[in-house]
Amino acid sequence: MNNLKGFFYGIATSVTFGLIPLFTLPLMAKGLIFDSILFYRFLLATMALGFMMLIKKESFRIQLKDIPVLILLGFLYTGSAMFLFWGYNFMGAGVATTIHFTYPIFVTLFMFIFFRERATWITWMAILLAVAGVAKLSIKGDELSFDPLGIFIVILSAVSYASYIIVVNKSRVHSMNGRKLAFFVFIVSTLLFAVKALTNEGIQSVPDNLSWVNLFLLAVVPTVISNITLVLAVHHIGGTLTSVLGAMEPVTAVCIGAFVFQEEFTWQSRLGILFIITAVTLIILSKTIQKTLSTVVRKIRPRHA
């Protein structure tokens, strides 16, 4: 049952996170730039989480030893977004997105290097299918240009997000309430994005009420909800499996683009979605597949007296 909950939370994380374009594109059309959007996103997310905690009468108290870990998580989460957006300056968004979605590979490698946690062949197959699927969804024919510095920057984005997942999974804040954990991480992210915006073009004013609605939804759905479910997924099924389920995010983004913004839905997109759904199915059924294969092997293996 815990595994089933974990898979549900993992898919919910990626699906809600994939809704970012639904709320971001209208804001960009109104002239807001990324720095301002990200500042408002995390400011409103922090306020929404604080309000939720007050309503539920949850304590804001943390131990002194938790503070360095929460600051580290804030830097990792913020760094992941900043490096990815920086990478867009060096290469096509599709290539950058695909490189960023290699983060399940880094999660798997880091879990083995630092915690001796081995991934099964099913997990590795699912990771490869997921990355291939993201590539099919993201890379267009005219985007196949590579810049070494850009690749390095986007890999830093993938490593930052992988490290965020692992720290949530393995640090002393592992058992912290998901809302409280996200609240303090978002405080750090809000401050960092404020500094970045102020050192660039400043924080823009919000143009109209509809933009405030989009900012609020951006803060709640693909930020508050996705981060709470991420923490819950990591608690139930670990960082490696959660990271692979993250491949559902670009599937959601492509579907939003096709059905809401009338973007072209090509055979390449269909193939990418098929790869990703296969990868997610493998992850969800991994234990069943392993048990079935073990049973078959035992039955066909010659018995010796």
Instruction: Answer yes or no: is 80 within a domain.
Output: yes
Instruction: Answer yes or no: is 27 within a domain.
Output: yes
Instruction: Answer yes or no: is 296 within a domain.
Output: yes
pLDDT exceeds 60 at position 144 = no
Q: What are 35-92's pLDDT values in tens digits?
A: 999 999 999 999 999 999 999 999 999 999 999 999 999 999 999 988 988 887 887 6
Instruction: Answer yes or no: is 37 within a domain.
Output: yes
Higher pLDDT, 93 or 256: 256
Instruction: Answer yes or no: is 188 within a domain.
Output: yes
Specify whether the CB–CB gap between 180 and 58 falls below 8 A: yes
Distance CA 257, CA 264 (A): 8
Residue 269: its pLDDT value, please?
Answer: 85
Which residue range(s) make up the domain with 6? 2-300
Residue 305: its pLDDT value, please?
Answer: 46
* C-alpha of 238 from chain center: 14
CA-nearest of 254, 263, 272, 180 to 20 is 254
Higher pLDDT, 18 or 224: 224
Task: Tell me how far CA of residue 287 lies from CA of 117, 135, 281, in angstroms.
Answer: 16, 27, 11
- Residues 22, 25, 29, 31, CA torsion sign: positive
Q: Residue 67, by phi and psi: left (phi above 0), alpha (psi -120 to 50) or beta?
A: alpha
> Is 109 in a helix, a strand, or coil?
helix
Instruction: Answer yes or no: is 93 within a domain.
Output: yes
Instruction: Answer yes or no: is 305 within a domain.
Output: no
Instruction: Answer yes or no: is 52 within a domain.
Output: yes
pLDDT exceeds 80 at position 117 = yes
Domain count, the chain: 1
Rounded to an integer, the average pLDDT of 247-266 is 82
CA-nearest of 131, 124, 126, 128 to 109 is 124
